[in-house]
Chains A and B, each alone.
Chain A
Amino acid sequence: MASQVEAPVVRLSDVEKVFTRGDEAATTALEAIDLDIRRGEFVSLIGPSGCGKSTLLRVIGDLIQPTRGEVVVNGKPASQARRERDYGMVFQAPVLMDWRTVQDNVRLPLEILGRPTAQRTARAREMLELVELGDFLEHYPYQLSGGMQQRVAIARALSFEPAILLMDEPFGALDEMTRERMNSEVLRIWERTGTTIVFVTHSIPEAVFLSSRVVVMSPRPGRITRVVEIDLPRPRNEDSRETPRYFQLVTEVREALRMRGDRPADDEAIGDVPSVDRTMAEGAVG
């Protein structure tokens, strides 16, 4: 009953996004998207390149306006939620300001929000401790490795306690080992802060390991094909990646990715198939 009483943090109703650029034919990036995200949930959006998952994330964050449909965040329109600083953003690149020290990068949103100086300093320190960079306050971004820079970006996104953390393939540029370590890091932070997280990825293991729910999308037009509940017990750790249930769920998401809505499975949904094979597959279907 409680879950029915509490309104979702994010509610997407019949969202559609059509891109029209100059004389080119319009592309439908998103179509008929309905999705509710509950408070404190960790939701991953997964799909092949071009399925509109990053677009969907930007629609939630009011960085892109939908062509149709409604985005309600904390009971308000997305644009109002953005102005009221409900979002923390983390991109694939860390997007740190080269001219600011690690500490000053984390203070940036607090400066813009007009928080008192003492609070900015204390908060930046606290957040950098949280991502285990407490010893690097005065370093410049160029003095840090890629993984460390991304942790600064996470600390910055959390510094003003946004209601929702939007992460767009944050570990896509990192090597596999660093990525797995960062996954554990994010889980730890999420468990500690209770922030609602929407996480875009194209890595199935990453999505399964992190999420409460995995939203599977298909391309052209981008739609939600399935939502997979991830019932792996928490707290999760590296051992969770070796349980039979984990492998079952990875398989389930992989199979969902092969499906294209109500059409028969074809290889196009995987995304990286050479065009010759795709032509053959289409020929076989048609």
Chain B
Amino acid sequence: MSLVSGAGAARTRRRGPAAGFARRGRRLLFYLPAVVVFVAAIVAWEVVVTALGLRTFVLPKPSAIVAALVANWSDPRFGLATSARATLVEAVGGLAIGTLAGVLVAFATSRWVTARGVLLPIAVAANAVPIVAFAPLMNNWFGVLSPLSKMMMAAVLVFFPVMANVTRGLVQVEPAALELMRSYGASEWTVVRKVRIPNALPYFFTALKLATTLSLIGAIVGEYFGGSSLVLGRIIVQSASALRFDVTWAAILLGAAAGIVLYLAVVGLERVFIPWHASVRSSEP
């Protein structure tokens, strides 16, 4: 019978310099529309604000925001670089704590029915409390000046989606795959290692992508409730009350940039760890 009857042969990767150039070209073309739209939107923003003569406190021009970003990069009052770094550290710390806790609880709940009965209602209840309500508590428990209190805010937000998704990934395994492992006389731990964990990886990365954004929200909301003044949350509050909205926007821009950096880092990890998964396969031309 023919060996090339399937799609496999056709999808074999071509290598070599010519293929490399073609690949890079396709990639540029793939991203071109997004770049064009982005640049056009910025230009339109600039033009509309200038044409309508909008005041800075309503909406500053993009050029004014960039100017504020440069001018206040290492300013003693609105130190944007120091603040962005501090906020990023809080977010990443919270991401790590929340993810670790979420994964641990997911393993416990998927392994033991009793753990599921005890932990799930608590997790759901904790998730139902608006995050803002936790901020004064966290400041009290972990120190208003300590970055740990902001990390814990981020961790609370991160915990639930990670826990819920990883649990699902560990539990929703093809029944036939479990029958197969049973027919090999595999131990429960082997099933976890060879089937459940790999099966849960795509779910984990989906949660992690959500969690990057959530960790920044948690950190910045935590900062609103007091602590060090050189953090993005405080810069936003202080510059707004000083009517320096160009600085406010610059701080928001940095927050967004931090979010994008974290997100892309997760996408990179995804390509390394789950290259076989449909979400990774189809995201590239």
State whether A185 touches B183 (Cβ < 8 A).
no
Contact residues on A (Cβ < 8 Å of other chain), bracket? 35 or more
Nearest CB in chain A to that of B174: its residue: A95
* A247 beta carbon closer than 8 Å to chain B: no
* A63 beta carbon closer than 8 Å to chain B: yes
State whether A135 touches B185 (Cβ < 8 A).
no
Stretch at the interface among B161-169, B221-229, B243-251, B270-278: B270-278
| Chain B residues, CB < 8 A from A143 | 6-8, 11
Shortest CB-to-CB span from A73 to chain B, Å, is 12
Majority SS at the chain B contact face = helix
Shortest CB-to-CB span from A75 to chain B, Å, is 18
Chain A, 80-109, CB within 8 A of any chain B CB: 82-85, 87-89, 91, 93, 95, 97-99, 108-109
| Chain A residues, CB < 8 A from B190 | 112
Given A89-B179, A99-B198, A108-B194: A142 in contact with B6 (beta carbons within 8 A): no
CA of A185 to CA of B194 in the docked complex: distance in angstroms? 29
* A68 beta carbon closer than 8 Å to chain B: no
CA of A132 to CA of B3 in the docked complex: distance in angstroms? 7
Count residues on chain B whose CB falls below 8 Å from chain A CBs: 29
Q: Which of A87, A91, A147, A148 contacts B176 (CB 8 A)?
A: A91
CA of A98 to CA of B274 in the docked complex: distance in angstroms? 10
State whether B183 touches A63 (Cβ < 8 A).
yes
State whether A135 touches B186 (Cβ < 8 A).
no
* B240 beta carbon closer than 8 Å to chain A: no
State whether A63 touches B276 (Cβ < 8 A).
no
Q: Which of B1, B3, B277, B278 contacts A135 (CB 8 A)?
A: B3
* A265 beta carbon closer than 8 Å to chain B: no
Shortest CB-to-CB span from A248 to chain B, Å, is 29
State whether B179 touches A63 (Cβ < 8 A).
yes
* B241 beta carbon closer than 8 Å to chain A: no
State whether B195 touches A97 (Cβ < 8 A).
yes
Q: Mark B257-285, 1 if CB is under 8 A from A, else 0.
A: 00000000000000000101110010000
Shortest CB-to-CB span from A46 to chain B, Å, is 21
Nearest CB in chain A to that of B275: its residue: A140
* B177 beta carbon closer than 8 Å to chain A: yes
Given A63-B183, A93-B176: A98 in contact with B276 (beta carbons within 8 A): yes
| Chain A residues, CB < 8 A from B281 | 142
State whether B276 touches A85 (Cβ < 8 A).
no
Given A89-B180, A136-B8: A99 in contact with B185 (beta carbons within 8 A): no
CA of A113 to CA of B6 in the docked complex: distance in angstroms? 31
Chain A, 11-65, CB within 8 A of any chain B CB: 58, 61, 63
State whether A95 touches B176 (Cβ < 8 A).
yes
* B64 beta carbon closer than 8 Å to chain A: no
| Chain B residues, CB < 8 A from A89 | 179-180, 183
Extra inter-chain contacts (6) besides given A89-B180, A143-B8, A148-B5, CB under 8 Å: A85-B185, A93-B174, A95-B174, A99-B201, A112-B184, A147-B5
